Amino acid sequence: MAPRRQYLFSTVATKVLIAIAGLSLVGFLCVHLAGNLLLYVGAPAFNAYSHVLISNPFIVPLELALLALFVLHVLEAVTMWWTDRAARPIAYQMTRSAGGRSRKSLASTTMIVTGPIVFVFVAVHVATMKYGPWYVADLHGTEARDLHRLVLETLRRPVWLAVYLPCLAAVGLHLWHGVSSAFESLGLHGPRLTPKVLVAGKALAVAIAAGFLSIPIWIFFFGGRS
Amino acid sequence: MNVTVRVWRQGGAFGEGRLVPYEARDVSPDMSFLEMLDVVNESLVASGQPPIAFDSDCREGICGMCSLVVNGVPHGPDRGSTVCQLHMRRFKDGDTITVEPWRAAAFPVRRDLIVDRGAFDQIIAAGGYVSVGTGSAPDANAIPIPKDVAESAMDSAACIGCGACVAACKNASASLFVGAKVSQLALLPQGHPERVARARALVQAMDDLGFGNCSNEGECEAVCPKEISIANIARMRREYLRALVLGTDR
Ligand code: FES
């Protein structure tokens, strides 16, 4: 049989790259969530924070790096999915989880479903927020983007609530398996470490999903804070 | 007890296959699952039909030859056990039991429930051994090995190469098998010098043979008759990364 993939394209290296990119994106999500929570503080705080980001000269290289990580994660996952399908051309008539020590879950079996959902959602989200209407706010005399107004206007509409809730839940589901799986892919496994990683990974997934979900729910049902 | 078995029948490597139901009558609950299939086969032969082809050898859970997916789980419902050690008392009278072969591109079906697991031999041939001359057997205790290291190497070496890990993996990955082989040798002084080159060679062979990626679900560990831990997969990855960084001549 002809050699398929070597070194950086081997099954092991593929998973390492997916893991590194995935964990970096989780790190980004944590920063993103921390920033979003300023919506609870009010318009001045949120707009001041977004102004610091937008006006920062380092933001463009950081955004490009983030995009590169995102694209790497997606491309590697797609090639992996392709080889995995080829590895079992004939499906079982009946499959069941063995249970026991297996970590198989709804999350682990739907990574290839939640992944594309998150991919499309991120594109739509960036288009509506980052490249959405540019309202202007007065920030202690300086002119800044009124991103707060855009967020409130968007998330007060039922159609956007119906988009954000399931998509953010998909992010949580993806991380439920993804975080601990990334540690395994990097070879970080041990009798003391692994039980902690499994719990922490799920806790982080719940915290991130709950944090992001709380914002559209709060804005839609309680109006948010101006 | 009476059960219905739905068995994958396939005339040859390239034939079309399908599940065929058979009645197994007056089966003793003390029979093993394979003995129940033997009973079905006796009646098939008596009526002039070809018997169900399936692999077995030791029938005592140590050789790794038996390889049946029973009701969607490789080796059936018992944990830490091969299908030859599965007994009919695990089922209820009137049950319908589905029996399929291992499914993987790298394990082609030869006939009915028999698959060709030669891909595992090819992985081992790629470097799953010690090639340095070790001389005659050393005195006991001449090579000091810490107890915990010896125990982990022994746990990895418990692999009987049955291929249930591949059969259970949704991606048909051979990572648990390769992880066990890499670990077993890397942990001990005799295998240590070649561990980096070995990890690279074995992963390369696994990939070339068309096994899939590991999704860290741990279904392999759950069905493994020897309960080999996915810690071995993590060790394989560390060894492979060492090979990537250091190159393979060390
Ligand atoms: S026949 Fe030997 S392990 Fe089952």
Indicate if the pLDDT at residue A8 is higher than 80.
no
> Which residues are CB-neighbours of B168 under 8 A, at least 6 positions away?
A98, B73, B74, B219, B220, B222, B223
pLDDT in tens, A105-159: 999 999 999 999 999 999 999 999 999 999 998 888 888 999 999 999 999 999 9
pLDDT in tens, B25-55: 999 999 999 999 999 999 999 999 999 999 9
SS in 3 state form for chain B? CCEEEEEEEECCCCCCEEEEEEEECCCCCCCEHHHHHHHHHHHHHHCCCCCCCCCCCCCCCCCCCCCCEECCEECCCCCCCCHHHCEHHHCCCCCEEEEECCCECCECEEECCEECCHHHHHHHHCCCCCCCCCCCCCCCCCCCCCHHHHHHHHHHHCCCCCCHHHHHCCCCCCHHHHHHHHHHHHCCCCCHHHHHHHHHHHHHHHHHCCCCCCCCCCHHHHHCCCCCCCHHHHHHHHHHHHHHHHCCCC
Give residue for tokens 């991103």.
A147
Indicate if the pLDDT at residue A212 is higher than 80.
yes
Could you give the domains of chain A? 2-222 (1.20.1300)
pLDDT number for residue B140: 79
- State the average pLDDT for chain B: 94
Nearest to residue A214, comparing CAs of A24, A37, A91, A29? A37
CA-to-CA separations, A185 to A11, A75, A148, B162, B220, in angstroms, rounded: 10, 17, 39, 24, 15
pLDDT in tens, B63-90: 999 999 999 999 999 999 999 999 999 9
From chain A, the residues in CB contact with B218 under 8 A are 101-104
Q: Can B3-110 and B117-245 be said to share one CATH topology?
A: no
> Interface pTM (ipTM) of the complex?
0.90
Is the CB–ligand 1 distance for residue B44 below 6 Å?
A: no
B13-27, B106-120, B170-184: the lowest-pLDDT one: B13-27
pLDDT number for residue B132: 81
Band of residue A215 on the pLDDT scale cut at 50, 70, 90: very high
State the closest ligand 1 atom to the C-alpha of B59, by its place in the atom list counted from 1: 1
Question: For an interface test with B, which of A8, A9, A88, A180 has the most B Cβ atoms less than 10 Å from its Cβ?
Answer: A88
Beta bridge partners of A54: none
pLDDT number for residue A142: 87
Contact across the interface for A98 and B74, Cβ inside 8 Å: yes
CB pairs under 8 A between A and B: 152
Residue of chain B whose alpha carbon sits nearest to that of A192? B231
pLDDT number for residue B250: 47
CATH hierarchy code of domain B117-245: 1.10.1060.10
Confidence (pTM):
0.93
Identify the DSSP state of A118: H
Is the CB–ligand 1 distance for residue B61 below 6 Å?
A: yes
Band of residue B169 on the pLDDT scale cut at 50, 70, 90: very high
pLDDT number for residue B142: 86
From chain B, the residues in CB contact with A3 under 8 A are 204, 207-208
Q: Are B79 and B222 in contact (CB under 8 A)?
A: yes
Band of residue B244 on the pLDDT scale cut at 50, 70, 90: confident
How close, in Å, is residue B140 to chain A by CA atoms?
A: 30
Is the CB–ligand 1 distance for residue B82 below 6 Å?
A: yes
Contact across the interface for B218 and A16, Cβ inside 8 Å: no
Contact across the interface for A103 and B217, Cβ inside 8 Å: yes
pLDDT in tens, A186-205: 999 999 999 999 999 999 99
Residue boundaries of the structural domains of chain B:
3-110, 117-245
pLDDT number for residue A1: 42
Indicate if the pLDDT at residue A5 is higher than 70.
no
Amino acid at A34: A
CATH architecture of B3-110: Roll (3.10)
Indicate if the pLDDT at residue B156 is higher than 50.
yes
